[in-house]
Amino acid sequence: MTPDPSVEPATGWHPAPKHLLFAALGLMTLFVIYNNERFIVDHSDPLWTYYSPVRVLLFAHALAGAVALCLGATQFSSRLRRGHVRLHRILGRSYVTAVAISAPLGIWVTILRNELPLRIAVITQAFLWFLTTAVAFYCIRHRNFEQHRQWMIRSYAITLIFLTDRVLDAIPRVTDLDSDASPNIVWMCNIIAWVVPTFIIALPNLRRSAPSETVASAARLSLGAH
């Protein structure tokens, strides 16, 4: 039978890079829950004794942060954004609310329990988290969709510090670099969370060649300078 050229052959589903990224983040989340956060239910863990005086604040901070971690991922679904606009907005506002709760509580907990060097690192992270999220919300309220997307990328990158910090801290030898008195990993994650989104945002422009008119203008300016 001769195939009908008007019928396009069915193609299998292929994971996009963002699907692989979120799959990796899912595995990281499971690892962090088991390796770092099980003290919430295992009260024999020394961390429970350490954080027990602020357990209510810590639980509220962690719960709101977990909500932000899950809901933030949905904001990058183009299918959800185009096909379910109302749901996308509801989830987006819920993400903003979760950050607005978790960030100040994180500052409160670190002031009460951590040494000054770690306190400064955590407060910086929480402030940037709140700021980037607030700017993203401001942009969407003013229908500046491109800036909203860019600031959401920055905001979610800071959200992911919850995972990246703990995963890096579990690597042998790397964990020796981090302590309350010298929070090197936290600072490194803060820097990564700002630098990586900058490259992601700039990547589309880096791939474009400059318009010929722009190139010609630059050449004329260069010749005129000599």
Is the per-residue pLDDT at 223 higher than 80? no
DSSP code for 174: T
CA distance 31 to 29: 5
pLDDT in tens, 36-75: 888 888 888 888 888 899 999 999 999 999 999 999 988 8
pLDDT in tens, 115-151: 999 999 999 999 999 999 999 999 999 999 999 999 9
pLDDT band at 13 (very low <50, low <70, confident <90, very high): low
The reply to whether 27 falls in a domain is: yes
Is the per-residue pLDDT at 188 higher than 60? yes
Q: What percent of the chain has pLDDT over 90?
A: 49
Instruction: Give residue 106's pLDDT.
Output: 95
Say how many domains are in the chain: 1
The reply to whether 3 falls in a domain is: no
3-state DSSP assignment of residue 37: coil
The reply to whether 214 falls in a domain is: yes
Is the per-residue pLDDT at 16 higher than 70? no
The reply to whether 12 falls in a domain is: no
The reply to whether 5 falls in a domain is: no
Least confident of 13-22, 28-37, 54-63: 13-22
Distant-in-sequence contacts of 121-125, Cβ < 8 A, 24+ apart: 121/183, 121/186, 121/187, 121/190, 122/183, 122/186, 124/190, 125/158, 125/161, 125/186, 125/189, 125/190
The reply to whether 10 falls in a domain is: no
| Average pLDDT of the chain to the nearest whole number | 85
Helix, strand counts (H, E) of the chain: 10, 0
Beta bridge partners, 70, equal none
CA distance 120 to 110: 9
Instruction: Give residue 8's pLDDT.
Output: 47
Least confident of 11-15, 93-97, 105-109: 11-15
> One-letter amino acid identity for 11?
T
The model's pTM is: 0.80
**DSSP string spanning 53-79?**
GGHHHHHHHHHHHHHHHHHHHHTT-HH
Structural domain boundaries enclosing 116: 17-224
pLDDT band at 222 (very low <50, low <70, confident <90, very high): low
The reply to whether 164 falls in a domain is: yes
The reply to whether 1 falls in a domain is: no
